[in-house]
Structure 1
Amino acid sequence: MAYDAWCLSQYGVDRYLNSWPLYLTNYGGGQSILYAYLCAALFRIFGYHSFLVRLPSILFSSLTLFFGVKITEKLYPGKYMPALAAGILLTICPALILQGRLGIDCYLMLGASTVFLYLFLCAAETGKVRYYIGAGLSGGLLLYTYALTYFVLPLFLAISLFYVLWVKRFSLRGWAAMAVPMAVLAFPLILIQIINIFDLPEMKLGCFTLTKLNMYRVSEFTGFDFSKFLSMLRMVFIGNELSYTSAPGFFNFYILSIPLFFIGFCSLLWKAWRSIAKRKHVGSIYVLLWFLIIFLLFCNLKPIGYRISGIYFAVVAITVCGLQSLLCFLSRKKILKISLSAAFSAFYLVGFARFGFYYYMGAYTAETNPLTHFDILVTEAVEYLEAHPEFQNQGTYMAEPVVYYMLSTLASPYDVRYDIHTLDSDYYVCGSLPEIQDGYNYIVRNHLTEYAEELRRKGYTEVIFTGYSLFYQEADQNGISNAG
Structure 2
Amino acid sequence: MFIQLFIIFLTIIGIFFLNRSSLFKNRSQYFRIAAMSIIFLTAFIRIFRYSSIMGLNLDEAMGGYNSWSLAHYGVDSALNRNPVYLYAWGTGMNLLYPLISVPFIKLIGLSLVAYRLPMVILSIGSIFSLVVGMLMYKLPNRLILLSLATVFLSPWSIMANRWGLESNLFPIIFTFAASAFLLFLSKQANHPKQAKMYLYIFAFLIALSAYAYSNNWFMLPFFVCGIFGYLYLKKKASLKSLSAPAFLILLIIWPLLLFAKINYFSGKTFKILSLTIPKLSSSRSNSELIIGHGNIFYSISNNIFKFIKLMVTGNDHLIWNSLPQIGILYPFMFIFCIVGIVIAFKKRNDWDNFMLISLLSCFPIVMIIKINANHLNALMLPILYFEALGLYYSLKGPILKMAFTIVFSLYFVTFSFFYFHADQTLLTQGRTLTPSILGKAIRFANKSKAKKIYITCLPKGGYVIPRFYCPISPVAFNKEKPNVTFKTESNYKSYGKWYFKQPKKMSNNSVLIVKKGQKLHFRLRNRHKKDFGQYRVYY
Judge same fold: TM > 0.5, yes or no.
yes
**Gapped runs of 5+ residues in structure 1?**
273-280, 331-336, 473-484
C-alpha distance in structure 1 between counterparts of 2:167 and 2:346, whole Å: 32
Q: How does 1:116-127 map to 2 (within 5 A)?
A: 116-124=177-185, 126=188
Aligned to 2:360: 292
On the 8 A contact 2:66/2:77 being kept in 1, the answer is yes
Q: How does 1:404-423 map to 2 (within 5 A)?
A: 404-417=465-478, 418=481, 420-422=490-492
Q: Aligned match of 1:211 in 272, 278, 295? A: 278
C-alpha distance in structure 1 between counterparts of 2:164 and 2:148, whole Å: 23
C-alpha distance in structure 1 between counterparts of 2:417 and 2:523, whole Å: 39
On the 8 A contact 2:86/2:93 being kept in 1, the answer is yes
Q: How does 1:76-87 map to 2 (within 5 A)?
A: 77=138, 79-87=140-148
C-alpha distance in structure 2 between counterparts of 1:293 and 1:96, whole Å: 21
* Alignment pair present for 1:347 and 2:423: no
Aligned to 2:531: 464
On the 8 A contact 1:203/1:211 being kept in 2, the answer is yes
Q: How does 1:323-338 map to 2 (within 5 A)?
A: 323-327=391-395, 330=396, 337-338=397-398
Aligned to 2:304: 229
On the 8 A contact 1:155/1:293 being kept in 2, the answer is yes
Aligned to 1:65: 127
Aligned to 2:162: 101
Number of residues paired by the alignment?
445
* Alignment pair present for 1:428 and 2:490: no
- Deviation readout 1:326-351 (Å, 9 max, x if unpaired): 24xx4xxxxxx111011111100111
Given residue 353 of structure 1, which amino acid in structure 2 is its aligned partner?
Answer: V
On the 8 A contact 2:493/2:499 being kept in 1, the answer is yes
Aligned to 1:249: 325
Aligned to 1:113: 174
Query: Relative to structure 1, is the Cα distance of residues 425 and 255 closer, same or farther in structure 2, using a 3 angstrom cutoff?
Result: closer
On the 8 A contact 2:359/2:383 being kept in 1, the answer is yes
* Alignment pair present for 1:37 and 2:99: yes
C-alpha distance in structure 1 between counterparts of 2:283 and 2:408, whole Å: 43
Query: Relative to structure 1, is the Cα distance of residues 395 and 261 closer, same or farther in structure 2, using a 3 angstrom cutoff?
Result: closer
- Deviation readout 1:432-474 (Å, 9 max, x if unpaired): x448745464323xxx4431x66998666431235632134xx
Cα drift, residue 78 of structure 1: 5.3
Query: Relative to structure 1, is the Cα distance of residues 294 and 159 closer, same or farther in structure 2, using a 3 angstrom cutoff?
Result: same
- Deviation readout 1:156-209 (Å, 9 max, x if unpaired): 121223333332323234312312321211111111112223321211123321
Partner SS for 2:325: coil
Partner SS for 1:264: helix
C-alpha distance in structure 2 between counterparts of 1:147 and 1:317, whole Å: 24
* Alignment pair present for 1:304 and 2:363: no
On the 8 A contact 2:111/2:469 being kept in 1, the answer is no
Given residue 172 of structure 2, which amino acid in structure 1 is its aligned partner?
Answer: G
Given residue 499 of structure 2, which amino acid in structure 1 is its aligned partner?
Answer: V
On the 8 A contact 1:456/1:462 being kept in 2, the answer is no
**Gapped runs of 5+ residues in structure 2?**
1-62, 485-489
Higher RCO (C-alpha 8 Å, min separation 6): 2
Cα drift, residue 409 of structure 1: 1.7
- Deviation readout 1:59-87 (Å, 9 max, x if unpaired): 23224423343454466x35211111111
Given residue 366 of structure 1, which amino acid in structure 2 is its aligned partner?
Answer: Q
Query: Relative to structure 1, is the Cα distance of residues 65 and 370 closer, same or farther in structure 2, using a 3 angstrom cutoff?
Result: same
Given residue 22 of structure 1, which amino acid in structure 2 is its aligned partner?
Answer: V
Given residue 373 of structure 1, which amino acid in structure 2 is its aligned partner?
Answer: T
Aligned to 2:47: none
**Greater Cα offset, 182-191 or 37-46:** 37-46
Q: Aligned match of 2:432 in 373, 376, 379? A: 373
Partner SS for 1:209: strand
Given residue 432 of structure 2, which amino acid in structure 1 is its aligned partner?
Answer: H
C-alpha distance in structure 1 between counterparts of 2:162 and 2:235, whole Å: 42
Cα drift, residue 139 of structure 1: 1.2
* Alignment pair present for 1:266 and 2:342: yes
Query: Relative to structure 1, is the Cα distance of residues 43 and 387 closer, same or farther in structure 2, using a 3 angstrom cutoff?
Result: closer
On the 8 A contact 1:109/1:309 being kept in 2, the answer is yes
- Deviation readout 1:274-332 (Å, 9 max, x if unpaired): xxxxxxx63211112212322442221211232222322211110111012224xx4xx
Partner SS for 2:368: coil
Q: Aligned match of 1:150 in 169, 192, 217? A: 217
Cα drift, residue 231 of structure 1: 1.3
Given residue 517 of structure 2, which amino acid in structure 1 is its aligned partner?
Answer: E
Query: Relative to structure 1, is the Cα distance of residues 436 and 235 closer, same or farther in structure 2, using a 3 angstrom cutoff?
Result: farther
On the 8 A contact 1:143/1:149 being kept in 2, the answer is yes
C-alpha distance in structure 2 between counterparts of 1:106 and 1:399, whole Å: 27
Q: Aligned match of 2:197 in 126, 130, 134? A: 130
C-alpha distance in structure 2 between counterparts of 1:90 and 1:310, whole Å: 13
C-alpha distance in structure 2 between counterparts of 1:202 and 1:354, whole Å: 50
C-alpha distance in structure 1 between counterparts of 2:173 and 2:198, whole Å: 15
Partner SS for 1:464: strand
**Greater Cα offset, 455-464 or 217-226:** 455-464
On the 8 A contact 1:268/1:284 being kept in 2, the answer is yes
Aligned to 1:185: 252
| Superposed CA RMSD | 2.7
On the 8 A contact 1:123/1:129 being kept in 2, the answer is yes
C-alpha distance in structure 1 between counterparts of 2:392 and 2:442, whole Å: 57
On the 8 A contact 2:445/2:453 being kept in 1, the answer is no
Cα drift, residue 110 of structure 1: 0.6
C-alpha distance in structure 1 between counterparts of 2:239 and 2:341, whole Å: 31
C-alpha distance in structure 2 between counterparts of 1:102 and 1:325, whole Å: 34
- Deviation readout 1:348-389 (Å, 9 max, x if unpaired): 0111111122222x2x12123335434238564455445544
Q: How does 1:388-407 map to 2 (within 5 A)?
A: 388-389=448-449, 392=450, 396-400=454-458, 401-407=462-468
Aligned to 2:384: 316
C-alpha distance in structure 1 between counterparts of 2:76 and 2:451, whole Å: 32
Query: Relative to structure 1, is the Cα distance of residues 34 and 78 closer, same or farther in structure 2, using a 3 angstrom cutoff?
Result: closer
C-alpha distance in structure 1 between counterparts of 2:113 and 2:270, whole Å: 34
**Greater Cα offset, 21-30 or 414-423:** 414-423
Query: Relative to structure 1, is the Cα distance of residues 320 and 74 closer, same or farther in structure 2, using a 3 angstrom cutoff?
Result: farther
On the 8 A contact 2:94/2:211 being kept in 1, the answer is yes
Task: Please tell me whether Structure 1 or Structure 2 has the larger radius of gyration of its CA atoms.
Answer: 1
